Amino acid sequence: MARHFLESTDVGYIDDVHVAQQHKDNKVILNITCKNVLITNDAIVQLIITNPQGIVIGKYVDKALDQNMFIVEINNPELWWPVGYGEQPLYKS
């Protein structure tokens, strides 16, 4: 559902990303957890979600901690179908 782009800096880096999905009532709730390795105390974590058309539907910025968690709600998500059964729209982060 999402592609993750990691940018290396001299203040720290993201060591691990975990995405859990919960589908209900014509929406999906994403619980995104990233574990970070911090070199300095002035690092930030930024998450940008784009829909399959490339439009930004969410932008989240937070001070980087050892672990950051973002809860993202996407209303009326485009469904992903198995190969041969329909479209496979790609949301990006």
In a domain, 63, yes or no: yes
The parent domain of residue 53 ranges over: 12-75
Q: pLDDT tens across 36-69, in order?
A: 988 888 888 889 998 999 899 999 999 999 999 9
The separation between CA 90 and the C-alpha centre of its own chain, rounded to angstroms, equals: 12
In a domain, 4, yes or no: no
In a domain, 22, yes or no: yes
In a domain, 90, yes or no: no
In a domain, 57, yes or no: yes
Nearest by Cα to 43 from 68, 72, 71, 69 = 68
- How many domains, the chain? 1
In a domain, 31, yes or no: yes
* DSSP 8-state secondary structure symbol assigned to residue 10: S
Q: Does the structure show a pLDDT above 70 at 3?
A: no
In a domain, 32, yes or no: yes
**Local confidence band at 73 (pLDDT 50, 70, 90 cut-offs):** very high
In a domain, 61, yes or no: yes
